[in-house]
Chain A
Amino acid sequence: MPRSGRRRPETFLPPAAAGPVALLVATRKGAFILKSDRARRAWKTAGPHFLGHTTHHAMLDPRDRRTLLVAARTGHLGPTIFRSGDLGRSWKEAARPPAFPKAPEGAKGRVVDHTFWLAPGHASEPRVWYAGTSPQGLFRSEDSGDTWTPVSGFNDHPMVPKWTGGEQDGTPDGPKLHSILIDPRDPAHMYIGMSSGGVFESRDQGRDWKPLNAGCLADFLPDPHPEYGHDPHCVRLHPLAPDVLYQQNHCGIYRMERAQGRWERIGLAMPKQVGDIGFPLVLHPRDPDTAWVFPMDGTQVWPRTSPGGKPAAYVTRNAGKTWKRLDAGLPKNQAWLTVKRQAMSADAHQPVGIYLGTTSGEVWASTHEGAKWTCIARHLPQIYAVEAAEL
């Protein structure tokens, strides 16, 4: 019996993918698309798309495998969303990108600095997408990303200023709403993560929200166990076990059985000299007990580089009881990589392909679940996000 508390659903596992994979690589200076052959051995890089734009996320809709959205801005122009229906051969700009409502005369209104996270909606709502922004805002599109409306139940919730701590409490690139997760059984059941703010849950499609942070540490606050104010870096929900949540947090790696409603720090089983601080966390598409992380140095002034200059992914195959180091093929030393929270991804093949992008512009791939890594692109701009998509 796996730790997720239910029988492994071999009988209704989705079939493993067998076709080419596209990696949607969003960088500080534009977006790139790396396409593989069916064996995932040879990769071709296309792009840059939107050269000079800061692209925070690029996502292909898994429901139609056609609609591709890219969140973009330049250092000097306002934020927007670009849309493609042909995998980047042609693009159209969103007619109404995410934006907060105009404030009443005399009141201070919020301004979207950039869209940070793009999430396709529930399978039963094929044209619905959600977007998370910096500063923390939640937006919904019902026309495949052409027009976006604020999710007022979150954005105007009277607790938002307290939950988020205001706009000064966030990452060096600004506070962010990310990890928009939709329960595959119920489009009204959603989770979000906020840096900062914590993990929040809605059971009425975003009309109301409640903090979901019990058990999670916030050691940067006077009370290290607050109800909210945490810093989840990346939260994941497994599509086959949607009552199991994982998060890579500023303060460790956690797992939650939703019925228990309490985060358990599974990162305590990581090697002490490596620690359990990092940005990304990736789940196996068919095994809810398997997860990969890419630890970083979270000591002292937070270098956020590979601990000791020796980069490695770690995998657990038993829901966090034990972890295994995966560094074959990665540089052995003097490699001070940083992999951001959206820059690690899995495909749906068997064995699963794991991909990561570094802030130094390299894309690394493993077609054997992290057992061996190969660099498939280098000299790209600083990588913000890597999403694997089945073609």
Chain B
Amino acid sequence: MKVLIPGPLRSYTGERREVQAAGSTVGEVLADLDRRYPGIRFRMIDEQDGIRRHIRIFVNGGQVRALDAPLRAADEVLIFQALSGG
């Protein structure tokens, strides 16, 4: 499925904004993304499988808050980063 990558993480994807990854849950998609682009998952997801504080994940426009959220092949995953601070 299509995964949209935010600017701060595109150094992992060769600057590609849109990539493909497979899985039946958000967690599986992120694991597959990490296989394709090593290191990218840990920048978004901590070692306790928590979504990091300033990372937001949307599926077809709706925010998901847990990695076990189910996905279908036609879904679109948008990873978004809430930039703030000085």
A77 within 8 A of partner (CB)? yes
Q: Is the CB of A80 within 8 A of B48?
A: no
Q: Is the CB of A75 within 8 A of B47?
A: no
A308 within 8 A of partner (CB)? no
Could you give, for residues 270-303 of chain A, a 1 whenever the CB lies within 8 Å of some chain B CB and a 0 otherwise? 0000000000000000000000000000000000
Min distance, Cβ A27 to any Cβ of chain B, angstroms: 14
Min distance, Cβ A101 to any Cβ of chain B, angstroms: 7
Bound form: Cα–Cα A99–B82 in Å = 23
Q: Is the CB of A109 within 8 A of B48?
A: yes
Q: Which among B42, B45, B47, B82 has the greatest number of chain A C-beta atoms within 10 A?
A: B47
Min distance, Cβ A55 to any Cβ of chain B, angstroms: 15
Q: Is the CB of B55 within 8 A of A76?
A: yes
Q: Is the CB of B48 within 8 A of A78?
A: no
State the 3 A-B residue pairs at the shortest beta-carbon distance, nearest first: A76-B54, A99-B47, A77-B43
Q: Is the CB of A95 within 8 A of B38?
A: yes
Bound form: Cα–Cα A80–B47 in Å = 12
Q: Is the CB of A112 within 8 A of B47?
A: yes
Q: Is the CB of B39 within 8 A of A77?
A: no
Q: Is the CB of A111 within 8 A of B43?
A: no
B25 within 8 A of partner (CB)? no
Q: Is the CB of B48 within 8 A of A102?
A: yes
Bound form: Cα–Cα A112–B83 in Å = 20
B44 within 8 A of partner (CB)? yes
Bound form: Cα–Cα A111–B51 in Å = 11
Q: Is the CB of A78 within 8 A of B54?
A: no
- Total interface residues on B, CB under 8 Å, equals 22
Q: Which residues of B contact A78 (CB under 8 A)?
A: 42-46, 52
Task: Name B46's closest neighbour in chain A (CB-CB).
Answer: A111
Partner of B47, one of A76, A94, A102: A102
Q: Is the CB of B43 within 8 A of A80?
A: yes
A-B contact count (CB 8 A): 58
Known: A93-B39, A95-B38, A95-B39. A77 touches B48 (CB 8 A): no
Q: Which among A76, A100, A103, A112 has the greatest number of chain B C-beta atoms within 10 A?
A: A76
Q: Which residues of A contact B46 (CB under 8 A)?
A: 78, 99, 111-112
Known: A76-B52, A80-B39, A97-B42. A109 touches B47 (CB 8 A): yes
Min distance, Cβ B57 to any Cβ of chain A, angstroms: 14
Q: Is the CB of B42 within 8 A of A76?
A: no
Q: Which residues of B contact A100 (CB under 8 A)?
A: 47-48
Interface residues of B (CB under 8 A from A): 8-9, 38-39, 42-50, 52-55, 81-85
Bound form: Cα–Cα A99–B83 in Å = 24
Partner of A75, one of B9, B48, B85: B85
Within 8 A of B (CB), among A101-121: 101-103, 108-112
Partner of B50, one of A76, A80, A97, A111: A111
Bound form: Cα–Cα A80–B8 in Å = 14
Q: Which residues of B contact A84 (CB under 8 A)?
A: none
| A and B contact pairs by CB, cutoff 8 A, 5 listed | A76-B8, A76-B82, A99-B46, A102-B47, A109-B48
Q: Which residues of B contact A318 (CB under 8 A)?
A: none
Q: Which residues of B contact A108 (CB under 8 A)?
A: 48
Known: A101-B47, A102-B48, A102-B49. A80 touches B42 (CB 8 A): yes
Q: Which residues of B contact A80 (CB under 8 A)?
A: 39, 42-43
Q: Which residues of B contact A94 (CB under 8 A)?
A: 39
Q: Which residues of B contact A77 (CB under 8 A)?
A: 8-9, 43-44, 52, 54-55, 81
Bound form: Cα–Cα A109–B45 in Å = 13
Task: Name B47's closest neighbour in chain A (CB-CB).
Answer: A99
Q: Which among A52, A95, A108, A109 has the greatest number of chain B C-beta atoms within 10 A?
A: A109
